[in-house]
Chains A and B, each alone.
Chain A
Amino acid sequence: MSNVATTAPAPAAPPPVEKLKIKVDGREIEVPKLMPDWQGRLQPTTMLQACQIAGAEVPHYCYHPKLPVAGNCRMCLVEFGTPMMGPDRKPVLNPDGTPKIAKSVLPYEPGTPRGAIACATPISPGMEIYPGSAATQQMREAVLESLLINHPLDCPICDQAGECKLQEYSVEHGQANSRFVETKVHKPKAVDLGPRIVLDDERCILCTRCIRFSRDIAGDDALGIVNRGSYNTIAAWKEGAFDNNYTLNTVDLCPVGALTSRDFRFKMRVWFLKETRSVCTSCSTGCNITIGSREDVIHRYEPRDNDAVNAAWMCDAGRLNYKWVGRPDRLKEVRRRNADGTSDRIPWETAIREITARLSNAVSGSVAVVASARQTTEELHLLKKLANRFGAITDSVPRTGEADRLLVSADRNPNSNGARLTGIAYTEMGIRLPEIAEGIRSGSIRTLVVFGEDVTQHGIGADLLARLETLVVSDILPNPTTAAAHYLLPGCAHAEKRGTYINGKGRLQRFLKAVEPHGDARPEWEFLRELVTAVTAQAVPATLEGLFNEMSDGIPAFGGVRWAGIGDLGVNVTI
């Protein structure tokens, strides 16, 4: 079953889309008359959009589908023609009855084609666009030559090398030689534009993507162009002034190596990076990301396009929130604490066997589970199964901050809705934590299972933890709760495993594994599955896909979605 429930009511049948017939490089195609602009509003379809539909590449620098059109780079100039009109305002026909096409030419030099910028020129019925013609090619060559005359050509030391549009287009559309024999214009190098952004003005091609993003998307008109003409230079008012929470998106947007991330600068040639589709965990927005890693070390996060979630952007805080994954004090060993306070490293089998034994003796109602809304939905589902076996109280920990107008959510947990839909937490997250604390104090709760949270920060202090008969803790980094655990089970960062999160708007999204776990650490769902199987004596699917599908079948809000049906962009579930 692939019928997916959505948060919105089922859309009415869309109105018929009005189409236009045009030709792209001689091939007739039908394209919608109107298409979404950068804000998603329907506007007359542009030549560039039409060429994309036709599968014809139109190279461009300043154009970006999510930014207002600037039309300044001129790389997308294409030769074109329109049906010739007679004095009677009727099309002039060729002898074979086809409409005669008047190619656009310079009015003062009718032998020379006049191109139009594909990014801003609307199509019209019968228009012919020639993205593959010799004239178009010559226009591209000329623009590339112009862009390179004052460029430093320092590709060997440029971070953008390998993902630079100047390099790519030079190979595809450029020419080997430049005629330029003059001295180059020199501009500022290594400018501290903001705390996270370094600018090389000599590499800049003045496409203004960064300015438009900051002004029109981030709402911070902090960048501008100073000076004039060939001396134009991107600048902020003063050093470091470019400091909103979205500055690093300009590094992604920059088609060349002008804007670089202070964090990533000179660290890694991009072609060595393995790219993994994942989701940001810093808040409940769940921005889609690509993790760039090499040999099990994460080097960067970049936003991944998803119009249902984050368009093409992510915040700087989320983007830079990866370093903890590689922290040297990561929990790497399965440990059992002895009565004298010492602890031993034990094998996973021993830990699972002993925990199973202890839990099996637990009286119903004497167990509580504190899970984390940073865990995957599958892990939460397994913890709920475990809790159900003992009639355990469950909850998780709220985590909030200030929301902004673009992407950052007040809910800083990535999977609050997963915790709610699996039944771990309630509408008001953390509401039962005092009850758990009281249960421990009164002695009715004797076993506590904690995943991914330091409960000493949430009303269950070390004194209470000391009263427990059994404290099972799984986490990633050490804290007072892990220090008090009888059994400590090292878990994985999201980048080290697979799973799903459900974001604040009910978008169910999956993420994949980028790097290997540290030491003994295993994905939580794996050892939770072993524990649940042992404790409940029920079969639990052995693969993540199977586990997800089982969970989906049990939660009506999921509408029966399968793991394979989630896709790279996620699906909506009912929240």
Chain B
Amino acid sequence: MPEEFKLITKNLDQPGFTPDIGCYQRHGGYEALRKALSTAARDLPDGKKQSPQEVIRDEVLKSGLRGRGGAGFSAGLKWSFVDRRSGKPIYLICNADESEPGTFKDRQILHRDPHQLIEGMIISCWANDVKLAYIYIRGEMPIAARRLNQALAEARAAGFLGKNILGTGYDLEIHVHRGAGAYICGEETGLIESLEGKRPYPRIKPPYFPAVLGLYLCPTIVNNVETLCHVRHIVTLGGAEYAKLGTPNNTGTRIVSLSGDVQRPGYYEIEVGKVTLGELIQHPNFGGGLRPGRQLKAIIPGGSSSKVLKAGEKFQLKRKGPDGQMTSVETALLDLPYDFDSLQQAGTMSGSSAIIVLDDSRSMVATLGNLSEFYAHESCGQCTPCREGALWMEKALHRLNHGEGRKSDADYLLHIAQNIQGRTICAFGEAASWPVLSFVKKFRDEFESKGAADESARAANPARPQH
């Protein structure tokens, strides 16, 4: 039976668990930090020696942990790219700018278990020789920001933060920095610009890879809230043990945010790949199915930017057979294991692990109109294709949703979106164009018939005022 596996949410979901340090410590809090700080140097088979910090970094790499923010990139590799020879300070930033529509997992941690994040951060900072770190939190989470500040003060008072942490001589300061309502600040270089007090315009890469030229042009690590929390558990379990959770190359647990047309919307922590999309939506332990009398129409599987999946779709997944050979296995939409690789092979992504379910009462034209409005509002406007294209798509969809559509608008939308993806400074170009490309391609008839109906109505009544 598919079940939740509570690692990150274990404490915060317990009745009576409070966000203060006392409660956290009663639940084993900061033991992982003690363990990390007392890590011994390690001799490798090849005769080389690993410093205690290198040991922790190695454990994170071995754990297979992939970033929980959206891109799913190996956290251990990301750390390995950090330029440690520049002589410049290394910064770590916790990306708590959770704003991908559909996603509400970090909010739970920030509000209800801030010390888990702080412990994960302190370990990560120590392992990477970071002396100054920031938590960049959404401006719209003022209460979480206050709780974080409170928790940081508690950690400082308890000797986990500040000067000479736990008597090891290690100094670290963490500050909370509030955003002010901009989705683009979730993009790591946009976040860095924002933290520098500038407009959050994502930087061009090359040359501004954060691991080399990040905050104040110093090497910088940007990790998501949930990712940093996992570091704490990797230290507790050991990298190899952690890697047994989940499935190969998709290790550990993930908090899935489930919303839209299901009976039991909410967040559910699962072992990555051990639960299918269908189970997440339909099983009583999770979404509990659609509302009575409703059929599934579509699934947005990984935050609003991910490409939509249509009910009834089938995919060819590459699977390792019993003989060790890779084979292609036909997999129905609802049988897709909810993990990084399966969704990628299905032509979409698990992104921020946020599932939005759409039932058969929903208009795909209206739904896409809603999302396009979001992307038009959130485009920072720095580079041409996105600045002009995001609003263009929104205007076209607004027209189509308000009786001024054309049958040709389906192709018109595809044309605009195709000229955005892959041509922008940051991945927002994909985020804005993928919903359009996937909605229109998979539900073309709906877009065309809406446009055709508008054309007929206009032909029947040419005197009607134009929208």
Contacts and interface: CB of A to CB of B under 8 A. Distances in A.
Q: Do chains A and B touch in the complex (CB under 8 A)?
A: yes
Interface of A: 69-75, 77, 106, 108-109, 112, 114-115, 117, 120-122, 139, 142-143, 145-147, 149-150, 179-180, 182-183, 185, 205-206, 225, 227-232
A115 B383 CA distance: 15
Given A77-B423, A182-B392, 7 more contacts: A109-B422, A142-B423, A150-B388, A182-B396, A206-B387, A228-B381, A230-B387
A117 B204 contact: yes
B422 A185 contact: no
23 contacts: A71-B383, A74-B383, A74-B385, A74-B424, A106-B421, A109-B421, A109-B422, A120-B204, A122-B206, A142-B385, A146-B392, A147-B388, A149-B392, A150-B388, A179-B415, A205-B384, A206-B384, A227-B381, A229-B381, A230-B376, A230-B387, A232-B381, A232-B387
Contacts of A182: 392, 395-396, 399
Contacts of B299: none
Contacts of B425: 71-72
A146 B422 contact: no
B384 A230 contact: no
B135 interface: no
Which of B378, B392, B415: most chain A CB closer than 10 A?
B392
A71 B388 contact: no
Contacts of B390: 229-230
A182 B409 CA distance: 12
Interface string B390-427: 11100110010000000000001001000101111100
Contacts of A73: 383-384
Nearest to B376: A229
Contacts of B396: 182
A147 B381 contact: no
Nearest to A208: B382
A75 B423 CA distance: 10
Nearest to A74: B384
Which of A72, A74, A229: most chain B CB closer than 10 A?
A229
Given A182-B399, A229-B380, A71 B385 contact: no
Given A72-B382, A205-B384, A229 B377 contact: yes
B72 to A, nearest CB: 13
Given A121-B206, A182-B392, A115 B422 contact: yes
Contacts of B204: 69-71, 117, 120
Interface residues on B, range: 20 to 34
A2 B457 CA distance: 81
B199 interface: yes
Contact of A230 (B206, B391, B419, B421): B391
Contacts of A147: 384, 388
Contacts of A150: 388
Contact of B207 (A120, A149, A228, A230): A120
Contacts of B384: 72-75, 143, 146-147, 205-206
Contact of A72 (B206, B383, B392): B383
Contacts of A185: 391
Nearest to A184: B395
A72 B199 CA distance: 14
B389 interface: yes
Nearest to A105: B422
Contacts of A108: 347, 430
A450 B381 CA distance: 61
A225 B377 contact: no
A146 B207 CA distance: 26
Given A74-B424, A182-B399, A228 B388 contact: no
Contact of A114 (B383, B389, B422): B422
B379 interface: yes
A120 B430 CA distance: 20
A146 B385 contact: yes
Contact of B388 (A69, A70, A112, A230): A230
Given A115-B423, A229-B376, A229-B387, A180 B392 contact: yes
Contacts of A143: 384-385, 423
Contacts of B412: 179
Contacts of A121: 206
A69 B208 CA distance: 12
Contacts of B381: 206, 225, 227-232
Nearest to A72: B383
Q: In terms of DSSP, what is the predominant structure of the interface of chain A?
A: loop
Contacts of B206: 120-122
A205 B387 CA distance: 10
A73 B384 CA distance: 5
B419 A146 contact: yes
A73 B382 CA distance: 8
B186 to A, nearest CB: 15
A112 B422 CA distance: 9
Contact of A229 (B391, B415, B419): B391
Which of A109, A147, A228: most chain B CB closer than 10 A?
A228
A120 B381 CA distance: 19
B306 to A, nearest CB: 11
Nearest to B421: A106
Nearest to A119: B204
A109 to B, nearest CB: 8
A145 B376 contact: no
A180 B396 CA distance: 9
A430 B206 CA distance: 56
Nearest to B399: A182
Contacts of A142: 385, 419, 423
A116 to B, nearest CB: 9
Contact of B378 (A112, A114, A229): A229
Contacts of B399: 182
Contacts of A225: 199, 381
A228 B423 contact: no
A96 B45 CA distance: 43
Contacts of A106: 421-422
Interface string B436-461: 00000000000000000000000000
A299 B204 CA distance: 40
Contacts of A115: 422-423
A417 B388 CA distance: 54
Contacts of A71: 204, 383, 425
Query: 9 nearest interchain CB pairs?
Result: A142-B419, A146-B388, A230-B391, A182-B395, A71-B204, A232-B381, A229-B381, A229-B379, A106-B422
Contacts of B392: 146, 149, 180, 182
A145 B419 contact: yes
A165 B204 CA distance: 23
Contacts of A139: 423
Contacts of B422: 106, 109, 112, 114-115
Contacts of B376: 229-230
A139 B418 CA distance: 10
A424 to B, nearest CB: 52
Nearest to A207: B384
Nearest to A61: B384
Contacts of A149: 388, 392
A211 to B, nearest CB: 11
A73 B199 CA distance: 17
A205 B383 CA distance: 10
A225 B380 CA distance: 11
A231 B380 CA distance: 10
Interface string B179-211: 000100000000000000001000010110000
Contacts of A72: 382-384, 425
Contacts of A228: 182, 377, 379-381
B18 to A, nearest CB: 39
A33 B181 CA distance: 43
Contacts of B378: 229
Nearest to A233: B381
A346 to B, nearest CB: 66
A122 B206 CA distance: 8
B214 to A, nearest CB: 17
A64 B2 CA distance: 58
